[in-house]
Amino acid sequence: MSLRSLLLICCLLTATANAQSAPRELNLMPLPAAYQMGEGQLAIDGTFTVGLTGYREPRLNGAVQRFLRTLSRETGMAFPQDCLKACVGLSVHTDHASKPVQELGEDESYSLEITAAGATLNAQTPLGTLHGLQTFLHLVQATPTGYAVPFISIQDKPRFPWRGLMVDVGRHFIPLDSLRRTLDGMEAVQLNVFHWHLSDNQGFRVESKKFPKLQSEGSDGNFYTQSEIREFIDYAHDRGIRVIPEFDVPGHCTAMFIGYPELASAPGPYQIERHWGVMDPAIDITQESSYKFLDTLFGEMAALFPDQYFHIGGDEVNGKQWDANPTIQKFKQSQKIKDNAGLQAYFNQRLLKIVTAHGKTMMGWDEILAPEIPKSVVIQSWRGQQSLADAARQGYRGLLSNGYYIDLMYPASQHYAADPLSGPAASLTAEEKQRVLGGEATMWTEYVAAENLDSRIWPRTAAIAERLWSPQEVTDRQVRDVGSMYRRLKVISTQLDSLGLTHNSQYIRDLERLSGSTDIEALKVLADVVEPVKEYTREQTAPYPATSLTPLNRLVDAVAPESDAARNFSAQVDSLLSSPTPTTIADLRASLTTWRDNDAKLQPLLQSSFLLKEDTALSTTLAQLGTTGLQALDYLEHNQPAPGDWKQSQLATLEDAKKPKSQLLLMVAPAVQRLVEGRTATK
């Protein structure tokens, strides 16, 4: 029996994913729907080539060229860029074309077989081919005998058809080269929707030829031209990614009112908003001229953005301008509209007609859901899983973003645990579940600009991508033991790095900038174990009111949202407390000693720079944690109970250590506390 037939049988026997039966860990993120590993590997050397058969299109040729360029970067080897015939290595067969404009729910499946005879990638459409090429790239690794891919048989397809990332370019403008890198990263982790939040109170970022004052007055000169947008959409299409535009109305649109104050519910004049939050200005929804304006604008934008879906935002209207406008109040009474939600529902009804007339399917945030709105709209749930489940029960299609708010600085494990079909959605009927299209990570940019965009998105978004791609039983199993997820996240992070994403390299550059030199060691010791404050506490704890013009050049802007060093330290502490070994003790002692001694090295630098001065307390507290931890380690090592009053005083210090300092959290404090208390973490 050939290895290949053996593999096929194995696949039949293990119809779904079978990571537990795999002989060794598969370094893939997202994990495939089903796979079976073989024994052995296929060498990747300078003779490696890729051949295309079946359906052909320029996008596939481009994908192979990018594949080879990435393979070159990952291996340092050169590969022939064009293969005319008799190619060995990876043979790619695509059955037929995908839709000219990528549609929701197209076939994205592929199968990949790697055996001694070579590698074969089969897909129904170019979308599957693109995914399969990425999977192949991620399988390449240096082995004792050379670069190679393991023998494996993969049958893969996504769990959800809508796997998105939203980037807000309204609050901070993000240049196109950063966004192109973002698409590169999305392709690598098989995300397929780029949701472009293009306008908000702080900026309108698209060139309109119909209403040029939108961008000339509302963007500080920071907007995308229509030809740039067309090129960007092509770039996304080449990577199997749809582009959904969002124009947020009737609130979150102050930037539109600067050039066109007549749209608003109060006379103006308006200025580009520099602050964050929910603002009063809102479109006057009683004026016919508002709808005429939106009809013309959305018509122009519907032609610019080919995707079927068109996002109208619709979130966070506080209604204050409506309440203060007598004409709107009169309208409300005459139409027997109960409240402002009713006003917005009226507006959305009108808007739906406009969007539909331009051939698009309307989508919006939770708030657009109202009893009268037709079932054709798609609801993006930011408020919670309950609202998503409710919508699905009422017959609406929807996607989950609550749980995927990557701007809140939560760890990957937390986002990873969120599932579009868990919690309230778990009890949906099969038919209702079908209405849950997937989810979207949301990158709101109050504290994100071009320089730190990558580090705010990656690598955490790769975990969300896996949640949306891989079978639920696979991801749920990983949630119960996040070790594998984090190991694979580290690998994909390196691969994203080699694609040119800057989440790792910019960290070093930021520390160099803060240090004014390449001598960053002491600063890095501190920076490695802190994380930015979570959720919306950055606003609440700001030392001075931050605006969109405030430089993002502090330590809190440089450090990663998630500290690997702190997570590792925490795991080592738990390992020590459950089964101490000399190695664990030595490792912990080394870390604690480094922290204890670091403050003396770092203080001169902190005092030399206005940007670092605020981190003085952070550094001294880390030193204190080092001292405390070392004492606790001594007691533990000598099996000596720590004296009660020592423990008492340390715990008080630890409470302080856990409080934010310069908007940063010392993530090692809880583990040091466990050392003091001598108890492992409760799961």
Among 1, 12, 20, 76, binds a copy of itself (CB under 8 A): 76
Among 434, 505, 649, 680, binds a copy of itself (CB under 8 A): 505
316 an active-site residue? yes
CB atoms within 10 A of CB 427: 11
Q: Does a cis peptide bond (omega within 30 degrees of 0) precede residue 411?
A: no
3-state helix, strand, coil in the chain (%, to 5): 50, 15, 35
Closest contact distance (angstroms) between CB of 519 and a copy of itself is: 7
Phi first, then psi: give them for residue 90, nearest 5 degrees.
Answer: -115, 120
Q: Is 610 in the site for a copy of itself (CB under 8 A)?
A: yes
Q: Is 184 in the site for a copy of itself (CB under 8 A)?
A: no
Closest contact distance (angstroms) between CB of 70 and a copy of itself is: 12
Closest contact distance (angstroms) between CB of 142 and a copy of itself is: 4
Identify residue 607 by its one-letter amino acid code. Answer: Q
Q: Is 69 in the site for a copy of itself (CB under 8 A)?
A: no
Distance CA 186, CA 67 (A): 15
Phi first, then psi: give them for residue 658, nearest 5 degrees.
Answer: -85, -10
Closest contact distance (angstroms) between CB of 594 and a copy of itself is: 9
Interacting positions 266-285 with a copy of itself (CB under 8 A): none
> 3-class SS at 110?
strand
Q: Is 493 in the site for a copy of itself (CB under 8 A)?
A: yes
Among 229, 611, 642, 667, binds a copy of itself (CB under 8 A): 611
Residues contacting a copy of itself: total by CB under 8 A? 45
Q: Which is nearer to a copy of itself, 147 or 298 (CB)?
A: 147
Q: Is 519 in the site for a copy of itself (CB under 8 A)?
A: yes
Closest contact distance (angstroms) between CB of 474 and a copy of itself is: 22
Q: Which is nearer to a copy of itself, 77 or 585 (CB)?
A: 77
Q: Which is nearer to a copy of itself, 284 or 557 (CB)?
A: 557
Closest contact distance (angstroms) between CB of 1 and a copy of itself is: 31
Among 216, 414, 422, 504, binds a copy of itself (CB under 8 A): 504
Q: Which stretch binds a copy of itself (CB under 8 A): 303-311, 434-442, 496-504, 536-544?
A: 496-504
Q: Which is nearer to a copy of itself, 144 or 269 (CB)?
A: 144
Q: Is 61 in the site for a copy of itself (CB under 8 A)?
A: no
Q: Is 212 in the site for a copy of itself (CB under 8 A)?
A: no
Beta strands in 403-556 (DSSP E): 436-443, 530-532
Interacting positions 85-144 with a copy of itself (CB under 8 A): 141-144
Hunting for tokens 């359906």 — which residue is that? 55
> 3-class SS at 308?
coil
> 3-class SS at 466?
helix
Query: Distance from CA of residue 217 to its chain's centroid?
Result: 31
Half-sphere exposure in the Cβ direction for 62 (13 Å, CA)? 11
Cβ contact 399:378 at 8 Å: yes
Q: Which is nearer to a copy of itself, 287 or 594 (CB)?
A: 594
Q: Is 658 in the site for a copy of itself (CB under 8 A)?
A: no
Q: Is 74 in the site for a copy of itself (CB under 8 A)?
A: yes
Closest contact distance (angstroms) between CB of 81 and a copy of itself is: 8
Distance CA 182, CA 13 (A): 38
CB atoms within 10 A of CB 228: 13
Q: Is 355 in the site for a copy of itself (CB under 8 A)?
A: no
Tell me the torsion sign for CA atoms 509, 513, 515, 517.
positive
Interacting positions 11-50 with a copy of itself (CB under 8 A): 46
Distance CA 470, CA 191 (A): 12
Closest contact distance (angstroms) between CB of 646 and a copy of itself is: 27
Cβ contact 125:95 at 8 Å: yes
User: CA-based angle 454:565:574, to the nearest 5?
Assistant: 135
Q: Which stretch binds a copy of itself (CB under 8 A): 269-277, 280-288, 606-614, 639-647?
A: 606-614
Q: Is 433 in the site for a copy of itself (CB under 8 A)?
A: no
Among 40, 62, 395, 516, binds a copy of itself (CB under 8 A): 516
Distance CA 416, CA 320 (A): 38
Q: Is 65 in the site for a copy of itself (CB under 8 A)?
A: no
Closest CA to 420 of 404, 443, 444: 404
Catalytic residue among 106, 316, 539, 637: 316
First to last CA, the chain: 47
Long-range own/partner contacts, residues 62-65 (CB < 8 A, 24 or more apart): 62/238, 63/126, 63/129, 63/130, 63/133, 63/238, 64/92, 64/133
Q: Which is nearer to a copy of itself, 278 or 586 (CB)?
A: 586
Contact map string, positions 135 to 154, toward a copy of itself, x by CB under 8 A: ------xxxxxxx-------
Q: How many residues does the chain have?
A: 683
Long-range own/partner contacts, residues 343-350 (CB < 8 A, 24 or more apart): 343/285, 343/319, 344/250, 344/285, 344/314, 344/317, 344/368, 344/370, 345/370, 345/371, 345/372, 345/373, 346/285, 347/249, 347/250, 347/283, 347/285, 348/312, 348/314, 348/373, 349/373, 350/285, 350/291
Q: Which stretch binds a copy of itself (CB under 8 A): 33-41, 161-169, 508-516, 569-577?
A: 508-516
Closest contact distance (angstroms) between CB of 78 and a copy of itself is: 7
Q: Is 514 in the site for a copy of itself (CB under 8 A)?
A: yes
Query: Distance from CA of residue 236 to its chain's centroid?
Result: 16
- 346-365 in b/e burial notation, b at 16+ Cβ within 10 A? bbbebbbebbeebebbbbbb
Q: Is 517 in the site for a copy of itself (CB under 8 A)?
A: yes
Q: Is 490 in the site for a copy of itself (CB under 8 A)?
A: yes
Closest contact distance (angstroms) between CB of 599 and a copy of itself is: 15
Closest contact distance (angstroms) between CB of 218 and a copy of itself is: 18
Q: Is 589 in the site for a copy of itself (CB under 8 A)?
A: no
Tell me the torsion sign for CA atoms 486, 490, 492, 497.
positive
Q: Which stretch binds a copy of itself (CB under 8 A): 69-77, 119-127, 533-541, 624-632?
A: 69-77
Q: Which is nearer to a copy of itself, 202 or 402 (CB)?
A: 202
> 3-class SS at 359?
coil
Closest CA to 480 of 217, 244, 683: 683
Q: Which is nearer to a copy of itself, 568 or 631 (CB)?
A: 568
Contact map string, positions 548 to 577, toward a copy of itself, x by CB under 8 A: -x-xxx---x--------------------
Kindly list the residues in this chain that would bind a copy of itself in the complex (CB under 8 A). Answer: 46, 73-78, 141-147, 451, 490-491, 493-494, 497-498, 504-505, 508-509, 512-519, 549, 551-553, 557, 607-613
Catalytic (active-site) positions: 316
